[in-house]
Amino acid sequence: MASTTSSQAGFLPPFELRRLVRPVFAPDQSSSDGPPQPGPSKNPVIRSVDGHGQLLWVGSNDGRVKGLDIKAHLTPSRPPHTRVASDTVRLTDAVDTQPRPHSVSGRLSKPSSPRQPEAGVAVPEDIIDTSCFQDCQVFPATDKSKLKPVEKLILVPMVGLAIILSEGTITFHSITDLQPCPSSSFPFIRGVSAVTLDELTYNPNNLQSSNQPDDVLMCVIKKKSIFLYLLSMNGIQQVHEVAFASATFQCLLRGSTLLLSDIEQYYLISLEDQPPEVMPLLPISQSSAPVPDDPTVTSSQATRHRPSMAAIPNSQEFLLASHTGSTCLGIFVSSSGDPSRGTLEWPSNPRSVSVDLNHVLALLFNGTIEVHLLATQELVHVISLPDGLDPRSLASAKFGISLPGESYTSQLNTIPFCLETRPIPNCAQSSLKAKSSSRESCLSAATHSRILLVGRDALYALATRTFLAEVETLIKQNRWDDALLLAGRSSESFQRGTSSTPSPTRRSQTRRAELDNSAQVTQLHYVFQKLALHYLVECRFEEAGNLWFQGHGDPRIFLRLFPLLVANNLCKTDTLKIFSGLEEMIRDVRSAEELIRNYSPHIKPDVDTALPTVDLKAQLHEKSRQVLLRYLRRWRRDRLLKGGASDPNRHLDSIIDTALVQLLSERRQVDPEAYSTLRQILERPNSCVFAEIEPVLLENKCFCILAEIYLKRKHIPEAFDIWAKLHDQVYEDEDFRYDLERMASVLMHYDQVDLVLKYATWMAPLNCNLAVKILVEAKVAGSFNVDTTFESLCEVSQEAAEFYLEEAISRESREAGNGKRKSDGLVDKQISNRLINLRTKLILGYLNKMKGLLRNTEDGPSPTMLFFRGLVEQFMRNAEDEEFKPQSFVDLLLEVSLPESSDDQTSSQLSDALATRAKLLLCLDQSDSDQSNYDAQQIRSIIEDMGGSAELLAVERAMVYSKIGLHRLALSLLALTLKDIRSAETYCMQRGTILPSGQRAGLFEKAGNSTGGKERGGREEGESTDSLIGILFDLLINSAVSSSTSARQVQHLLARHPARIPLHSSLERLPEHWPLDPLLLAPYLARAVRKSCHLTHEATIVKAIALGNHISLAVAYDDLLLFRDHKN
């Protein structure tokens, strides 16, 4: 036997010719003793056959029907088969000398060509044991010369009948033992020329579509009529009769459409019409060549032209064979007679034609069976028949017969598998590698057949493997790519079948299909997973990952390949369900490292140091991790698209998400998209186990992501520790954006004092404004010790320390002023003392800073010293200039601009000095009452110890002197030393304070912040304005400055404050050498006299008012006495 295949490369041939029984009937013992006699054999000849399950009924030409039971037949003496798996072929391929195409990928070893049997050694056939359980003479003949053949035998399992046609008579028998049915219910039907069953009702799907099978419609054709009978388990019933005369040879019925043929023509008849409409289709032969009388001529031009036709399953089509002379055509027609599909072509007239769901088979007179694809009409298989078979026909076993062999269904059972299980050490041979198979393992397994090849006295089955058996056979031959292609096509076909909406005529078939869907899906999953494991051994990680996903394999099996993944810690004790057929393979799958090591070629000096293998291993390692990453992302995305996992699967979700985070974080440096995906996963709801991913993120320097997770999980100390190290560049992360504002917003609402103080102090050198805001406005700001906090800030940033102290003083002042801390209506003494201490500390800080700025350098005076000295000298020159408008020294400070010629460092230093001096002036000049707001004595000692001329800090010293009552000394510094008569005059008018509201506002702007406390006016108690004006007047008169300058200053003082300087003493105090200039004294004298008159008239008016009130009281008293006397 032999078979050849067409260009449909990669797959096993669709059919396998398997011998069922040969011979079927026992040889004639009477003729076996003598020499062979010429002429035809007297042994019975097979005329009909049908089967169901493992039962086979064979009818002969002498009226016998033999019942056979199909079993496996194993020969103990069979020689062992030593061919390796890659050489495994079917017995039907024994003479096929062409090698199979090797794997498309080229990675697998090319399967070798089948070996030819050695001379003198017979190749044992694939024998099936068919034991005879019944051999009966159904139609015994009284005359041996007139035997009654069993022309047709049809099994109808749904109604439990066997229909037999013999010499024009139809009889009905039991399907189990061929006992005749009662003639009262199943009468004989005589004069029959052809019989067939309806293709719609006589269907395997009807056998299992419902608990109550449908009845079967039978068509009986006689010489002049066509009858339709309804077969049931209770009997037969004629339902239709059509008058029609024909010498029918063959017929097929589908519904109401009947296809029949005589010896010359095919006809299509509609049984619904009366009379029936007959449509001639095609002639049996379109050739005009005469048929030779010599029956031994068997060329394609002279073969006997027999009608051959078949019904296409699950369709409204028929196939007709029409001889054309040189070839024979196979033409498809619909139920209406219209051509459909393409056209088949055979090299000779077929003896018989049969059709299954996907193929068209034709038994030709040239001793072959040609197999065409039904969908494309492509020739895919040519089967050569065994020698001496004497083929007669292709018989259809509608319900199929099951052939023995391994079914592989047990491998689809699921079993528990513990991930703690490790491969057995020192395993001699991995089950993943191709193993040498015995002769039995090479036999086709789990096959069935619906088409039988009938010989003179032999039966063969055109067996088709089940999908699982065919895939397993390809896998055993290491034809993994072919097995994958077959599984892919099966999956596509399954998806098309499940997505299509069944028509009303297929509702009963749909129920059966729904029951088979689950089994088919399970088989596909098993095949995909098994192929994935095979590809893993070959380090074809891309294909393995895709197949494992398509097979819905458990991701934990794949994760085992990478033992360093922390996700394995979560599942190392898990027990999962796997297919039993994959247990040994999964158990032998080790780490990707071992797979790659076994795959690497051995190149000198060794695998670990040879440059080609080192490079190959690195690429394979990278590829394996990429594939795992894509697989896990695809698995996770598929789960999310399906609505997320249920609660029982949360554990698996945590494993997948944890593994994804590790893989993505490891690829951050080489794949920017991976880092973006990592952020998306962790920012959205996920199932990661934080304890496992925390060290992974740290190791892979994903600091920003880890800080975000800490923050989300309320681990504030850990988050701030990472942010601080990123700011300090202890850690490096390209994603870090130096967002101090966010850190500040978190600290503002945090309730741990130590942490807030720690990171506010740390933030001071980076952004003192934010640091002070946290310390002053935070939720726990009231718990800070101001002194301790100030000292901590001084260690890192003097500017922040000063700013904090300013804000603390301002807050304390507001609280005291708003009455938040009052006792019995008075400001608490402790709070007052606290404010004094804080202000003193703040002023001392300003003075120390100014002292440092004014300190001489090695090259001479500092730039700040030169700048302020020049400012004082300029002010004093302006004060002596009569044309210059008088102004205070503070006004000059507010208007001054930095020198343009100074460099950046000097400009920064001068700006800092101006701002510090503005703050110092504001602090020193504040006064809430007669008492000082700070320790003036301590400040005095510090400010007097500062080097330099007295006029350099004259205003500041005057402010300090005023707080301790040294008004003459203060006014002397202002008016005489600094020559700032405006500030001295303001000092007198505000009773010891120098800064008016306008200057205070300017200084606040110059300082850049508030310096504690509200703006205050003059003191309510202490020296009066008149006495201070008198002191100033006395100082100006007794000064040693030039007479012109003093005279002008006195003139202005007398002109502005005539009422406050006594007239009787002012003239006496003027120096004798000063001339009585009318221009100097006239305004003063006029205003003094006016004031004296005003006071005199004011006193007279007051006296008159008082006298009037006295008289009124006296009159009222007299009236009261009179009223009392009158009453008495």
3-state secondary structure string across 400-411: EEECCCCCCHHH
Amino acid at 1026: D
Tell me the average pLDDT across 271-292: 78
Report pLDDT for 105.
Answer: 33
Query: Cβ distance 761 to 792 under 8 Å?
Result: yes
Tokens standing for residue 496? 């098309």
Report pLDDT for 849.
Answer: 86
At residue 170, does pLDDT exceed 60? yes
Burial of 433-458, coded b for 16+ CB within 10 Å and e otherwise, reads ebeebebebbbbbbbbbbbbbbbbbb
Q: Give the lowest-confidence range in 491-495, 788-792, 851-855, 954-958.
A: 491-495
Report pLDDT for 635.
Answer: 92
Residues 865/866/867/872 CA torsion (nearest 10 deg)? 90
| CB neighbour class for 377 (10 Å; exposed up to 12, middle 13-18, buried from 19) | middle
- Mean pLDDT of the chain, nearest integer: 79
Query: Distance (Å, rounded) from C-alpha 2 to C-alpha 389?
Result: 14
Angle 298-304-308 from CA coordinates, rounded to 5°: 120
Report pLDDT for 82.
Answer: 31
Amino acid at 400: G
| pLDDT tier at 324, thresholds 50, 70, 90 | confident
Q: What is the DSSP letter of 93?
A: G
Report pLDDT for 1003.
Answer: 87
Report pLDDT for 114.
Answer: 35
At residue 1089, does pLDDT exceed 80? no
Residues in the chain: 1128
Q: Which one is predicted more confidently, 1095 or 822?
A: 1095
Tell me the average pLDDT across 63-76: 74
At residue 697, does pLDDT exceed 90? yes
Q: Which one is predicted more confidently, 828 or 97?
A: 828
| pLDDT tier at 10, thresholds 50, 70, 90 | very low
Helix (H, G, I), strand (E, B) or coil at 86: helix
Q: Which one is predicted more confidently, 991 or 514?
A: 991
At residue 501, does pLDDT exceed 60? no
Query: Distance (Å, rounded) from C-alpha 769 to C-alpha 550?
Result: 59
Is the peptide bond between 555 and the residue preceding it cis, with omega within 30 degrees of 0?
A: no
Query: Distance (Å, rounded) from C-alpha 831 to C-alpha 835?
Result: 6
| pLDDT tier at 93, thresholds 50, 70, 90 | very low
Most confident of 123-127, 407-411, 458-462: 458-462
What is the distance of C-alpha 1075 from the center of its chain?
A: 102
Tell me the average pLDDT across 306-335: 90
C-alpha dist (Å) from residue 66 to 169, 175, 941, 956: 19, 12, 136, 134
Report pLDDT for 511.
Answer: 45
Q: CB under 8 Å, gap of 24 or more: what pairs does 142-147 form?
A: 147/61, 147/62, 147/63
Helix, strand, coil content of the chain in percent (nearest 5): 45, 20, 35
Containing H/E element for 1084? helix 1078-1127
Residues paired with 67 in a beta bridge = 57, 134
- Phi–psi pair at 460, nearest 5 degrees: -125, 150
| pLDDT tier at 433, thresholds 50, 70, 90 | very low
C-alpha dist (Å) from residue 542 to 531, 538, 545, 546, 551: 12, 11, 5, 6, 14
Residue 110, C-beta contacts closer than 8 angstroms, at least 6 positions apart = 99, 102, 103
Domains in the chain, please, with CATH? 2-28+41-102+124-289+300-416+440-467 (2.130.10.10), 755-827 (no CATH), 830-1023 (no CATH)
Query: Cβ distance 878 to 884 under 8 Å?
Result: yes
| CB neighbour class for 81 (10 Å; exposed up to 12, middle 13-18, buried from 19) | middle
Q: Which one is predicted more confidently, 1068 or 656?
A: 656
At residue 156, does pLDDT exceed 50? yes
Helix (H, G, I), strand (E, B) or coil at 853: helix
Q: CB under 8 Å, gap of 24 or more: what pairs does 1089-1094 form?
A: 1089/1063, 1091/1058, 1091/1059, 1092/1063
Q: Give the lowest-confidence range in 288-302, 809-823, 868-882, 970-984.
A: 288-302
At residue 556, does pLDDT exceed 50? yes
Residue 119, C-beta contacts closer than 8 angstroms, at least 6 positions apart = none
Q: Which DSSP string corresponds to 423-453? A: PPTT-SS-TTSPPP--HHHHS--SEEEEEEE
At residue 1068, does pLDDT exceed 70? no
Q: Give the lowest-confidence range in 168-177, 403-412, 570-579, 710-719.
A: 403-412
| pLDDT tier at 143, thresholds 50, 70, 90 | low
Residue 302, C-beta contacts closer than 8 angstroms, at least 6 positions apart = 289, 291, 292
Query: Cβ distance 1014 to 925 under 8 Å?
Result: no
Report pLDDT for 332.
Answer: 94
Query: Distance (Å, rounded) from C-alpha 800 to C-alpha 774?
Result: 12
% of the chain with per-residue pLDDT over 70: 76
| pLDDT tier at 1059, thresholds 50, 70, 90 | low
Report pLDDT for 746.
Answer: 92
At residue 861, does pLDDT exceed 80? yes
Query: Distance (Å, rounded) from C-alpha 245 to C-alpha 223?
Result: 6
At residue 594, does pLDDT exceed 50? yes
Residue 285, C-beta contacts closer than 8 angstroms, at least 6 positions apart = 264, 305, 322, 323, 324, 349
Report pLDDT for 1077.
Answer: 61
Q: How many CB atoms lie within 10 A of CB 601?
A: 9
Residue matched to tokens 């032998």: 588
Residues paired with 260 in a beta bridge = 251, 267
Amino acid at 906: T
Closest to 589 (Cα-Cα) out of 421, 745, 473, 771:
421
Pairing of strands 128-137, 152-156: unpaired
Q: How far apart are the first and last CA of the chain?
A: 165
Residue 732, C-beta contacts closer than 8 angstroms, at least 6 positions apart = 701, 726
Helix (H, G, I), strand (E, B) or coil at 1089: helix
At residue 303, does pLDDT exceed 80? no
Say what the pTM is: 0.67
Closest to 340 (Cα-Cα) out of 348, 331, 349, 328:
331
Report pLDDT for 440.
Answer: 35
Tokens standing for residue 303? 């073969």
Tell me the average pLDDT across 503-520: 55
